[in-house]
Amino acid sequence: MFTRRHFRRNHVEEGVAESPISSDQRPVKRPTTVTRQLSDDTSTLSRFLLRGVDVPRMESMRDINSAWYPLGEACTAGYNITWINYEWALSTESDEGVNDNLWRAFELIMCLALACNLYLALYGASFWITSIIANSGDGDYFLQSVTALTFCQQLLGATVVLNAIGNCMGVYIKLSPHWIETGIGLAAAVILYGVGLEILANHVVGTAPLGLFHSPGWVKLIWGTWDFLLPKRYEALKHRAKGQAEKLERRAYQERTWLSRPRARESDSSVGHLLQQAANNLGLSSYDTTLCQEKLAAELYLESDQMRDLEVSELARCMPLRLAKEVRRLLRSTSET
């Protein structure tokens, strides 16, 4: 671990002979590896971070192997930020007014932050590679990845908190004893951390209230601090979590009903293709057209060519009116061509 002695500047003017330096006062070169790599567009780090910027992504973000790669990019960028925060604080020109206990505490905090960020990047890369090898299109694999993602989220939360503490300590080390500048820097660090945490908490509560409600206690304090400390916000979170649970229960029931109902495969029927195309044109790609197909099959309309003479009113007996109009339009355009 670097000590403050290593970051004292050697003020030697150009053209003046350098005075002898004892072994205890010999300066060590500052760790500027990351900053140099970031400033060099041809470096390995810069090429990794800029990889794929000009190339459009061909995979859907719903695929877990597509989601792991941006995670690796974010982990790498976060690790650089943590290390730069560490370098910045330790590059102070003077250590006057900063006691050894504060230095050791700062180095401990940043050591923990770097460790969390380092393993987050390593494990994130490992899970990403595994997702490619293990056929990430498999739904079972996606479900098994939830534990891995939760672990990465917990490491990320610890990294955020440790970086926030280290940033405040770094401001004090860097700017003291200039108290006005120190106060402004600390206020900015605390405000940015607080505002960002509030926005993130609102986002998590709005998108995943059920998951947050059942998370471990320390995760709740990081991602939804005020939602668990303030009674009104806690009740609102419970209400949101209950609503999401009921929504998931209804969806599961609908899926079980849909799976248990005997039906013809859409891929084997031109009627199914026609109905799905009509639904897609209306912006209803997730709409289940199986029931409409079954009603048409009950009237012995098994192929789309058999439906060319049907009017909208006749189609509407087997499907919603809006869908019937679009189906009629597709049938008419097909017959004209």
At 132-149, the pLDDT tens digits run 555 545 556 666 777 777
Contact (CB, 8 A) for 13 and 41: no
pLDDT digits 0-9 by tens, 24-64: 443 434 445 555 665 666 666 555 555 544 444 434 444 44
User: Residue 264 — pLDDT band, cuts 50, 70, 90?
Assistant: very low
**pLDDT top residue among 82 and 282:** 282
pTM: 0.47
pLDDT, position 136: 45
pLDDT over 80 at 271, yes or no: yes
Phi-psi region of 15 (alpha: psi -120 to 50; beta: other; left: phi over 0): left
H/E element, 98: none
∠ Cα 93 23 95 (to 5°): 20
More confident residue, 79 or 101: 101
The tokens describing 136, both together, are 């990430």
Cβ atoms of 293 and 269 within 8 Å: the answer is: yes
Mean pLDDT is lowest, of 252-256, 257-261, 264-268, for 264-268
Compare 141 and 202 and report the one with higher pLDDT. 202
pLDDT of residue 210: 83
Residues 6+ apart with CB under 8 A from 167: 85, 189, 193
| CA distance linking residue 139 with residue 178, whole number of Å | 57
Question: So what's the pLDDT on residue 75?
Answer: 60
Q: Mean pLDDT, to the nearest integer, of 301-328?
A: 87
Segment among 6-15, 30-39, 126-135, 324-333 with least mean pLDDT: 6-15
pLDDT digits (tens, 9 = 90+) for 214-240: 777 777 776 777 778 888 888 888 888
In angstroms, the Cα distances linking 229 to 56, 204, 209, 211, 222 are 43, 16, 15, 17, 12
Axis-axis angle for helices 179-207, 139-175 (nearest 10)? 170
Give the pLDDT mean for 150-154: 76
pLDDT > 70 in the chain, percent: 57
For position 188, what pLDDT does the model report?
Answer: 86
Residues 6+ apart with CB under 8 A from 187: none
Stronger pLDDT, 136 or 113, i.e. the higher one: 113
Q: Which one-letter amino acid corresponds to residue 157?
A: G
The chain-wide mean pLDDT, for the chain, equals: 70
Q: Are 46 and 91 in contact (CB under 8 A)?
A: no
User: Smallest Cα–Cα separation from 228: which of 197, 254, 249, 253?
Assistant: 197
Q: Which helix (H) or strand (E) holds 142?
A: helix 139-175
pLDDT of 290 strictly over 70: yes
Residue with tokens 């601090």: 225
Q: Are 281 and 326 in contact (CB under 8 A)?
A: yes
Q: Which positions ≥6 away from 324 have C-beta within 8 Å?
A: 312, 315, 316, 318
Q: How confident is the model at residue 281 (pLDDT cuts 50, 70, 90)?
A: confident
pLDDT, residue 92, reads 57
Residue predicted with more confidence, 73 or 25: 73
Query: How high is the pLDDT of residue 24?
Result: 42
Q: What is the reported pLDDT for 74? A: 61
User: Per the structure block, which two tokens stand in for 36?
Assistant: 């140099």
Residue bearing the bigger pLDDT, 89 or 285: 285
pLDDT (0 to 100) of residue 80:
67
- Cα–Cα distance measured from residue 11 to residue 9, given in angstroms and rounded to the nearest whole number: 6
Q: Which amino acid does the sequence have at 172?
A: Y
Tens digits of residue pLDDT in 80-96? 666 666 676 666 555 55
pLDDT of residue 336: 65
